[in-house]
A and B are shown apart, each in its own frame.
Chain A
Amino acid sequence: MSANATMDATGPGLDSVGLTVLNNFLVNTCREMGLAMMKTAYSSIFNEGLDFSCIILDRDGEMVSYAEFCPAQIGAILYTVKWTIEELGLDNFRPGDVVMHNDPYRGGCHMPEHTVIKPVFHDGELYGFVANIAHVTEIGGKAVGGFAADAKEVYQEGLRLPPIKIIDQGRHVDDLWKVILSNHRTPVTSWGDFHAMIGSLSVAERRLHEALAKHGVAGLLAAGKSLMAYSEQRMRAEVRELPKGEYGFEDWIENDGVDPTARYRIHCLVSVRDDDIIFDYTGSSKQAKGPCNCTYGVTASATYNAMLNLTDQTIPRNSGCYRPIRIIAPPGSVVNVAHPGPSVGGNSEVHERIVDVLFGALSAAVPQRVAAAAGASSCNFLFGGRHPQTAQYYANYHIEGSGWGATIGGDGNHTQCPINGNCRNTPVEVFETRYPWTVEQYSLAPISGGHGRTRGGHGCIRVLRVDAPEITVSSFMDRHSTRAWGLFGGEDGGSGALRVMRAGEQTWRTFSEAFGTVSPNKFADVQLHRGDRVMIVSPGGGGYGSPLERDPALVLEDLREGLYDVDIARTVYGVVLREVGGTLAVDAQRTRQERGATT
């Protein structure tokens, strides 16, 4: 039967039902892209980690729809595609073209984040674009895995690609592919991953053709604009609901990989106005020498990310959502790096810090919606080398979850992907199959969640042992000396750590102690050898509210679950326990006394 029976009934100029239907269709299309990507990609960071996002944009470069895989990429892709359109010119797209782009100064997040963009035509007329932005593990540069944590210029960070057509009307532009793949350490993996990205575009293009056959270019463009107008109106209503005022907050990045003593301030003044909201980052530190800088795209992504976390989940996600959000990010600062400053860490570590700053600022306005600070280090750990069994060169981008901040209603989750992404971990059995390490431990980090009426989540500990003659590693981690702050009397979470134990030795040391790296947690190109061990500890999240107000029954349960010990129960939570018939129980009376005495 004809597929258009219902769609036609709502025709061009769709009513609200037609728009709901179309919005679902478009979101679904983006999800299909994501599934295609997951199923075909070569790198663990894609097929296990899902570090990519899939988007449909109209020919003005406005985002009509996306599937939520990685929030960090969403802001940036708006700018990369708009830039691409402006730089190449709308008239220069042809059916079958694929443009690739990773330039951090032209809207990108950081160099590993590659966007592929394909124009979609209907009857010879350009409708818009399908795009996939994804974290490519190996992009050349001075350090394997794209994280030159001690880089001082973009040129050290890998191969920079302005918007270029790598496929021209269906034909691979071999000269460009040669240049790109010659600059990557793992060209076969890049080849497989790029094709997974491009394949996902084909899947979406096919599906968009169906919608275009029904609605025509003009109809689909108009419907997209209606969806954006709708989302804009919803978001403005959300802004109007926020208590008006100015809210400031700050947090810090602890070093930049180049100067181990420098700290970088992330500051934001949030002004809630009539129906827009200004996020003014003036007052943030000047840009760092090392790569803990954000591109404009990262700062925008982080800002949008925070807003979407604090507003109604049911607003359709498209460019309209962002219109009421105004961002001021001074160029040449840590929140808006100027050429040729390095930026790889901004997207991976600073994004989370920006989101926490905004939660902190708005905790004064909407305390019931925000969370205390999260451990929020992706614990970026990069490594590569020749696999002793296959003799093939491999590279991997490894991340960890960290503890999340508590909210008014619930404890923060233990060990969860930081808020800039939504990646999965790589299973130990996959990890060891692909890479020559033995994982000796993967567990929650004891007592790392901040105490509170609701608790912060615990971070994790991973211990790795080198099972190859040599592995080259790099690291970009944070919150090893700072801590995730608690809110409203909740305590801070525990710091993270990175340690190494060389083969034959018995003590854990920092990389600075063992290898003389300038920074203990942001360094590149360290050679480890068989039997060396690495311990990664991810930070815990902050607590919310005074621990003395935590329900004693929950304290007992925490205790039984081994999240902390009897001493902490008593000294921090003011809960006194006693043994009844071989099991622990709350001593209600003494707990009251204890809590009374402490407050």
Chain B
Amino acid sequence: MYRVGIDSGGTFTDLVGIDADGALVVAKHASTPQAPKDAFLGVIDKSRIADEAIERIAHGTTVATNAIIQRQGARVAFVTTSGFEDVPFIQRINRRREYDLHWRKPQPLTRRRWSVGARERVNANGEITVPLDAEAIADVVAALRALPADEPPEAIAVCLLFAFLNPRHELMLGEQLAQAFPDLPISLSHQVAPIWREYERSSTVLADAFVKPLVAGYCESLSRALAARSAQVHCSILKSDGGTTLLANAARRPVDILLSGLAGGLVGGRYWARRAGIADGITLDMGGTSADVGLVIGGQQRFTTEFEIEWGLPVAVPIVEVRTLGAGGGSIAWVDKGGMLNVGPQSAGASPGPAAYAAGGTDATVTDANLVLGRLDPDYFLGGEMALDAALAWQAVARVAQRVGQTPEQTAAAIVDIADENMTNAIRLATIERGIDPRGFALVAFGGAGPLHAVAIARKLGIERVVVPPHPGLVSALGAAISELRVEKVRTVAMLSDLASDAALIAQFAEMEADARGELAAEGLRGHAFATWKLSLRYFQQNYEQDVTFTRAGGLAECLAQFHRRHAEFYGYSFPDQPVELVHLRLSVYEADRGDAEGPRLRALPADAPAGVRERAGRDMGGRAVTFAVHRRAALPPGHTLAGPAIIEEVDSTTFIPAGARLQVHESGNLIITEAA
């Protein structure tokens, strides 16, 4: 029986199947963005895995992501506490950039004319101060019915003030609106995101409602198509937090799958990090237009609730912590008015793509620079599926070189260096912002372009080990295949720590955990599930929290000690005498990890034909001529070592090992790159 992961990307839909022995089947199918279901079914057929042999499919999809990015979701009516109808439009009143008169606020996922007030009020203590009466409800219904006839609402989002403390009014409205509008999906803020700060909660519940009809439609079409196949296939969707959820649940709470397409890479990256014996890793999934940076700490993913659709439009649900930056092979090099060279964030994308694609692009991109430096083989890009035109790449880089007064080779090195630096800075912010020093971490690099840049980035960060997983281009699909059932829950309590008792906290955690286990059972959990409990703490009057693990044995006292210690470590001071506020209880319940040592081991991967060692002329970072040894990855057995400068090629990626670095092939199949002793 196979566990199957299917990842729908912009260009390809990838499949990885793993059988009970850990044997791997891979397949690729051109994506069908207009009808993603077709590529989904197509890639299953192409893999030749029989329906009867599928234990389950986990699917990473960009349906919700694309709907949001392209703003092609539902017409959402917004219902909120009367007097606050403009909150989604006022937003947080800050600007994206300090000095830009021409910047416009982002358009929220609703319109002002679809925003309706309900006469009701809950206060900061969770007490009802203005009851929501029948008349108020009737007025909301009437207002929704009175919306312009040419723009009937397609979904309703409800966000009432302090509903995260007392959801009674939201529940009443939800019930009555469902009766009045039986055809419209309804999203309630306290269910979608029970968090403090009304704008962030509104924005989140709007996102949920916005993608709901589309995601529900997609899930339904998949269900129908799968039901029509020869055998019943169990299919779930990868959630933004790296867990999975049944098709029906994704349709009900689509906000959970907003980053479904990114999560697979993080899960897969974590898997390979662990297989290489690495507990603390930074994953770098770099493709053509963007790079996604994630964190694995103590073998676990990091989660955050600070995601933005675009600047200023937050979606506050648990997601795998990932920072996406506009840096990829297609990032464009440009020279500013003062003659300084810059790279990105503009990208040539997949079309026209880098100059070397010979598809009409003339801008010099990072891929072009890599070609000029001899790091890419023009005849073995995507395993030779796409020929690159080295002359066009050189010309494009030469044009930039002329403007900065350097040789094309020096300029190519500079482009790569600046791109590396940009990614380095993003990784720094992603780590240091969380109080994490990246230097103790390994860099796990994959995607088509990650392994080319990984060592240089690691050096800039002071990272000592780089890991390049097998089949770097299929890590996302593999991540989906091995993803686990997982539920994340957050409960806001907002109380001073001296008013909290271990017994009460344990009772609350236990209640949350029971709920979560119930949900997992409904998702089809068979084996054991683990739970972790965390408290989000801050000094009273601070507004941002630090998460510390809560154990029954250590209780609150140990949490507090840990909190003071971490505060001192990172900020240089702590206030052990000051009151600490306990803001959230955070719970994760997750299936026994299939990537753990006791889980299935993956067998050796199917090999591409070995081609022996060749040599290629290239350039180092000073633009000087050097010779690279070029290896085919499949020809390198576990335990094999070699020294840079060298290039390792495989069908879906290229790894660059600069001078001074040393490669060892790990028994897991990972390439491990360190500094030569």
Contact = CB atoms under 8 A, between A and B. Distances in A.
Interface of A: 1-3, 5-7, 9, 16-17, 19-21, 24-25, 28, 31-32, 35-36, 38-44, 47-48, 50, 68, 71, 188-189, 192, 195-196, 198-200, 202-203, 230, 233-234, 237, 305, 308-309, 312-315, 369-371, 400-401, 404-405, 407, 409-411, 413-417, 422-425, 427-430, 432-433, 438-444, 460, 463, 560-563, 581-583
Interface string B148-174: 111000000000011000000000000
Interface residues of B, number: 85
Contact of A424 (B94, B121, B425): B94
Interface string B87-121: 10110111101111111110000011100000001
Given A32-B429, A312-B337, A1 B455 contact: yes
Given A6-B460, A24-B422, A410-B102, A416 B197 contact: no
B587 interface: no
A442 B87 contact: yes
Given A192-B578, A443-B86, A36 B93 contact: no
B40 interface: no
A1 B459 contact: yes
Interface of B: 83-87, 89-90, 92-95, 97-105, 111-113, 121, 123-124, 129, 148-150, 161-162, 196-200, 336-342, 404, 414, 417-418, 420-422, 425, 428-429, 432-433, 439, 455-456, 458-464, 494, 539, 541-544, 567, 570-573, 575, 578, 621-622, 660-661, 674-675
Nearest to A201: B572
B84 A1 contact: no
Contacts of A68: 97-99
Nearest to A186: B541
A444 B340 CA distance: 43
Contact of A425 (B90, B342, B429, B539): B90
A427 B342 contact: no
Contacts of A404: 101
A414 B571 CA distance: 37
Contacts of B420: 6
Residue among B93, B102, B148 having the largest count of chain A Cβ atoms under 10 Å: B93
Contacts of A424: 92-94
A140 B128 CA distance: 37
The 4 A-B pairs of least Cβ separation, nearest first, read: A3-B462, A1-B675, A202-B572, A199-B571
Given A423-B94, A425-B92, A582-B149, A414 B340 contact: no
Contacts of B93: 400-401, 415-417, 423-425
Contact of B541 (A43, A314, A423): A43
Contact of B95 (A203, A237, A410, A416): A416
Contacts of A2: 459, 462, 675
B417 A21 contact: yes
A548 to B, nearest CB: 23
Contact of A422 (B84, B87, B98): B98
A28 B462 CA distance: 16
Residue among B460, B543, B622 having the largest count of chain A Cβ atoms under 10 Å: B543
Nearest to B456: A6
A20 B421 contact: yes
Given A39-B544, A442-B90, A444-B86, 9 more contacts: A3-B459, A6-B417, A189-B541, A422-B95, A428-B84, A429-B198, A440-B83, A561-B112, A581-B149
B433 A192 contact: no
Nearest to B338: A234
A427 B197 CA distance: 6
Contact of A410 (B98, B104, B123, B456): B104
Nearest to B335: A16
B197 A430 contact: yes
Contacts of A24: 421-422, 425
Given A32-B429, A308-B99, A442-B83, A39 B542 contact: yes
A308 to B, nearest CB: 4
Nearest to B105: A413
